[in-house]
Amino acid sequence: MTDTPTQLFIGGAWLDAADGATMPVDDPATGEILCHIADAGPKDARLAEEAAVQAQEEWARTAPRARSEILRRAYEIILDRTDELAHLMTAEMGKPLSEARGEVAYAAEFFRWFSEEAVRIDGGAGILPDGRNRMLLSRRPVGPCLLITPWNFPLAMGTRKIGPAIAAGCTMILKPAPQTPLSSLALAAILKEAGLPDGVLNVVTTSRAGEVCEPLLRGGRMRKLSFTGSTAVGRLLLAQSAEAVVRTSMELGGNAPFIVFEDADLDKAVDGAMLAKMRNMGEACTAANRFFVHHSVAEEFGRRLAERMGGLVVGPGTRDGVDVGPLIDRTGRGKVEDLVADAVERGARVLAGGRTPEGPGCFYPPTVLTDVSPESRLMDTEIFGPVAAILTFDDEDEVVRRANDTPWGLVGYVFTEGLDRALRISERLEVGMVGLNTGLVSNPAAPFGGVKQSGLGREGGRVGIDEFLEYQYLAVPVG
Ligand code: NAP
């Protein structure tokens, strides 16, 4: 903690907020303050905007190979510092160290992936239908970007945006979530060390998100917003971006169905459920939110899942052997408690967990609920906690209709041993991603994103860089 930067990173310099404001960063395992960091206001936002705008032209002209090598160096530094970064992440966010190490590797991989993509930005050429005109197509960076990230994956949500922005030749302002700013500040220091020119990345930590971001979006000098967070905030930012016609990529909330058919391999289904539900303590946009299990296997599936969930060790993420850390804060835990109480009031049976432990920290036990009423609030609310809610179904049409009966469409999970059924159901699900007999879909090489109110655009994969590039078409008459 002693070497972790706590100031704003603007134009390559570490600065206090112009008005001297600071804000605390808490440890969710103890409720204690870890440190204070700079709390930016509108003046700092203008300074960061100026830095990003000034750096844009030269950065866009920088050789793709040079941009690629900066990302590659940063990838290597991140991996070298896995332990340090994992401890920092666990301290501010709570996830167990083993998961934090996993996130460091996942986050670094976006830099390796986009270091490879930076040198493969293509264009095109062609003869127009009249035969007299030619067209030349080139791809250019979209311009200065505002990147806004949530707290649940403090490092990876940043690298998933910064990686393609650097590769494409965009400058940027990153505004991380106020609960987990330290990982982003550490990342900025690493990129500086890797040779990123001043002003290309600026990091603005703040407790005043609206005051800082709204003028940037309405002002029109930032040409792109890439946002990861809740659908409610995404909707507001889309409206703000409309004024200056700022291009947007939105990775928003989810309400993932997890479907177990009667012909599923139950070992795979329970393993998949543990991953899809318990990764990150259930605080993931990809977390399975509604378990639809065929009535003929529901009892057995519920029993096995409750046994596995009930056996997990809950405690501070830094302690050896801990599987489940604290939730992010008391508000997050209070929401989970209310959703469970509501489901139980409507008739759900608790097969595991369900009771908040005494003592400090925001802990909540892994919980399995069965016989959940479709009217329960957790059916149309992201639980964002370690709670599996099981409902039963009878046939394919019914389960597809119920799975799609939500405004969200990020991911779905399907467990069946029948290939034809697997493909049929996957095609009918209104989601951007499907986990087929697996509970994990995230991979830097794959396009991540949702449909409906889960978002616009994709991050990662071959298409991830497209979000940061524009086409320019050159018309060339040749007589
Ligand atoms: P959130 O409340 O929407 O906040 C996300 C970010 O937006 C934070 O940095 C937040 O800062 C900022 N923000 C809030 N209001 C703002 C405003 N008016 N102007 C500018 N920025 C603003 O979401 P969260 O609770 O941090 O994260 C959980 C949500 O993220 C869940 O819905 C989850 O599904 C979603 N998520 C989606 C993906 C995906 O890839 N689809 C990945 C991870 C998480 P403040 O907290 O200071 O307001």
Q: Are 416 and 263 in contact (CB under 8 A)?
A: yes
- pLDDT value at position 208? 98
Within a domain: 448: no
- pLDDT value at position 359? 87
Query: Do 319 and 458 have their domain in common?
Result: no
Query: Do 166 and 264 have their domain in common?
Result: no
Tell me the mean pLDDT in the region 182-198: 98
Q: Are 283 and 253 in contact (CB under 8 A)?
A: no
Alpha helices by DSSP H, listed for 349-433, are: 396-404, 419-428
Tell me the mean pLDDT in the region 103-110: 98
Quick check: is 285 catalytic? yes
Closest ligand 1 atom number to CA of residue 208: 47
**What percent of the chain has pLDDT above 70?**
100
Quick check: is 251 catalytic? yes
d(CA 40, CA 205): 6
Ligand 1 centre from 253 Cα, in Å? 9
Tell me the mean pLDDT in the region 391-418: 98
pLDDT one-digit tens code per residue, 299-322 = 999 999 999 999 999 999 999 999
Query: Do 56 and 173 have their domain in common?
Result: yes
Which of 23, 148, 216 is the pocket-test mutation for ligand 1 (most atoms within 8 Å of CB)? 148
- Nearest of 47, 365, 4, 303 to residue 154 by alpha carbon: 4
Confidence of residue 225 (pLDDT cuts 50, 70, 90): very high
Give me 415's structure tokens: 């467990």
- pLDDT value at position 230? 97
Q: Is the pTM of this model over 0.85?
A: yes
Within a domain: 1: no
What CATH number is given to the structural domain containing 417?
3.40.309.10
Within a domain: 121: yes
Ligand 1 centre from 178 Cα, in Å? 10
Query: Do 340 and 434 have their domain in common?
Result: yes
Query: Do 246 and 277 have their domain in common?
Result: no
Tell me the mean pLDDT in the region 61-70: 98
Closest ligand 1 atom number to CA of residue 151: 26
Q: What residues does ligand 1 touch, defined as CB less than 6 Å away?
A: 148-152, 157, 175, 177-178, 209-210, 213, 228-230, 233, 236-237, 251-254, 285, 382, 410, 455
Within a domain: 210: yes
Active site residue: 109, 285, 362, 459, which one? Answer: 285
Closest ligand 1 atom number to CA of residue 175: 9
- pLDDT value at position 3? 82
- pLDDT value at position 2? 59
Tell me the mean pLDDT in the region 151-155: 98
d(CA 305, CA 269): 9
Within a domain: 3: no
Within a domain: 331: yes
Tell me the mean pLDDT in the region 155-159: 98
Give how many domains the chain has, as a whole number. 2
Query: Do 248 and 329 have their domain in common?
Result: no
d(CA 104, CA 86): 7
d(CA 251, CA 453): 9
Ligand 1 centre from 299 Cα, in Å? 36
pLDDT one-digit tens code per residue, 311-352 = 999 999 999 999 999 999 999 999 999 999 999 999 999 999
Within a domain: 2: no
Question: What are the counts of helices (DSSP H) followed by strands (DSSP E) for the chain?
Answer: 13, 22
* Helix (H) or strand (E) segment spanning residue 469: strand 469-477
Tell me the mean pLDDT in the region 220-227: 98
Closest ligand 1 atom number to CA of residue 236: 18
Query: Do 318 and 347 have their domain in common?
Result: yes
pLDDT one-digit tens code per residue, 26-35 = 999 999 999 9
Average pLDDT, the chain: 97
* pLDDT exceeds 90 at position 193: yes
Query: Do 240 and 363 have their domain in common?
Result: no
Phi-psi map region of 280: left, alpha, beta (phi>0 left; psi -120 to 50 alpha): left
Ligand 1 centre from 455 Cα, in Å? 13
* pLDDT exceeds 90 at position 407: yes
Query: Do 293 and 200 have their domain in common?
Result: no
- pLDDT value at position 345? 98
Active site residue: 49, 251, 283, 467, which one? Answer: 251
- Pick the residue whose CA is nearest to atom 18 on ligand 1: 210
Query: Do 139 and 283 have their domain in common?
Result: no
Domain membership of residue 407 as a residue range: 256-443
Ligand 1 centre from 151 Cα, in Å? 8
Please state, as a whole number, how many other Cβ atoms lie within 10 Å of the Cβ of residue 67: 25
d(CA 224, CA 206): 20
- pLDDT value at position 479? 79
Query: Do 270 and 312 have their domain in common?
Result: yes
Query: Do 25 and 123 have their domain in common?
Result: yes
What CATH number is given to the structural domain containing 167?
3.40.605.10
Within a domain: 300: yes
* pLDDT exceeds 90 at position 1: no
* pLDDT exceeds 90 at position 381: yes
